[in-house]
Structure formats: C-alpha cells, structure tokens
Amino acid sequence: MPVAVPRPAAPTPTGIAAISHDLRKLAQHFRTDKWGTHRYAQHYQRHLEHLKNESFNLLEIGIGGYSRAGQGGASLRMWKHFFPKAQIFGMDIQDKSFVDEERITTFIGDQSDPGSLVGVASKIGTLDVIIDDGSHLSPHILTTFKTLFPLLKDGGIYAVEDTQTSYWPEWQGSEDRDDPKTSMSMLKRLADGLNYEEFVDEDYEPSYTDLNIVGMHFYHNLVIIEKGKNAEGTNKKRVLKKRYSEESTKS
C-alpha cells in the first residue's frame, strides 16, 4: 500500500493579510476612526461580512482629512483589504485623487447637490453598499439618502455614520428630538415605515422607502439600513375584526 504523503501546510499569513479578516484590527492599522473614536467596525463586520469574498461596489461619502493636503483615505484602504474582490469608491468635496490605487477610485462631489451625487453614481454603476461619512449635517444626510437610496441595489446596505450631530444645533441638528428636519427624525420615520402594512389608516399610501426597506439597525451614532422588497402582509383585519367589520358597514 502506498504511503500517503502529507500535504505541505498552508503558509501562515503575515502583515496585513494576517488581520484582513478583522475590521477592528484593520481600522486600527489604517488609523480610521471607525474603531477608537467610534465603535463602528464591529457592526460593519456583522452586517457586511457576507460580502467578504464577493465582487461588488462600495461607495463611501467623505474620505477624511478635510482640506489638508495628503490627508484622508484611511477607511477606503481598510475596506480594500477587508474585501479583496470589491471595487472601493470614495466621494469628497475636496480632491482626494492621491488616494487612488488599484481597486480604490475617488471622485470630487458635493453631497448637498443631488446632481453631483447622481453624477458620481452614474460613473460607478451598480451600488451595493453606500456609507455616508460625509459632512454629518442633517440637510446633507437627508439629501444624500433621498438621492442615492433609490439607486442602491436590492439587497444592498446603506449606512449613516455620526448621527450624534442630529442633536447638535451647532451642526444643523436640533435639541428637539422630534424636529422633522434632522437626520435621526428621518431615520426614525423609516423605522415606522417598516410596519406600514400594520397602519390602520386605510388612506395611507406607502412611500418608496416603506416598500423597499426590510431592516434597520440602530447603534450608538450609526444606523445601518437593509434594502429589499417589504411586503410580508398583515393579519390586522383578522385580529381587528371589530374595526374592519364596522368600516365595511360604513362603506
């Protein structure tokens, strides 16, 4: 009987390859505030890990470094090493083209301008993941979401970072937590829309977001939204028999 020859052991990864499975370690390595100043990396790992070895497009709005020459791009590099087959895109109001390299492409764009947002999206093509880490001003967050969410692929992920500014008047937020003009108020309305089929207002017309959001995850200063067809149905007419029998009698 021939003697089985053992296969050589796979080489142990070193350097960045050794931490490429762990977003927290990558965030620390590239010095992005997604871990340290904030605690976002653990949540992104949970919600994006299913894309780890997929080919897809990720757009992050806000590249970092503000107007300082040669500053920014840390999180784009983090995404590149976590997703080895993905195309990573960044958009910033400043020219960050020095960040460009294999699988990282940057665009100049203004997130307060729908035309600018659509222009960048058209250059990318399919949008699978969108991360708003831009100005953090509520009006810009609302404009960006209204413009780009309809362009996000079904099954895609949309994230809004640094939602604490929603509560800060100095950042165009509001002390009034119910102020409809803030980013958190918009996001809380979207959460209501998950359950639009349960509304008893029979004249209610579901919005685009009602029909196309299937999950929302709220964390400290971070909200992650899952896109998909939201039409599971409801048992309200069976449970609320009295209400609906009275309404049918009235009609």
Q: Which residue's entry shows tokens 């039409």?
A: 231
Per-residue model confidence (pLDDT) at position 9: 65
Task: For residue 15, name the pLDDT band (cuts at 50, 70, 90).
Answer: confident
pLDDT of 12 > 80? The answer is no
pLDDT of 107 > 70? The answer is yes
User: What phi, psi does 13 have (nearest 5°)?
Assistant: -60, 145
User: What average pLDDT is seen over the chain?
Assistant: 94
140 in active site: no
Task: For residue 180, name the pLDDT band (cuts at 50, 70, 90).
Answer: very high
Q: What is the pLDDT of residues 130-154, one digit of tens each?
A: 999 999 999 999 999 999 999 999 9
Point out the catalytic residue in the list 43, 81, 136, 140: 136
For the segment 89-113, the average pLDDT, to the nearest whole number, is 97
Q: Which residues contact 152 (CB under 8 A, 6 or more apart)?
A: 127, 128, 130, 158, 227
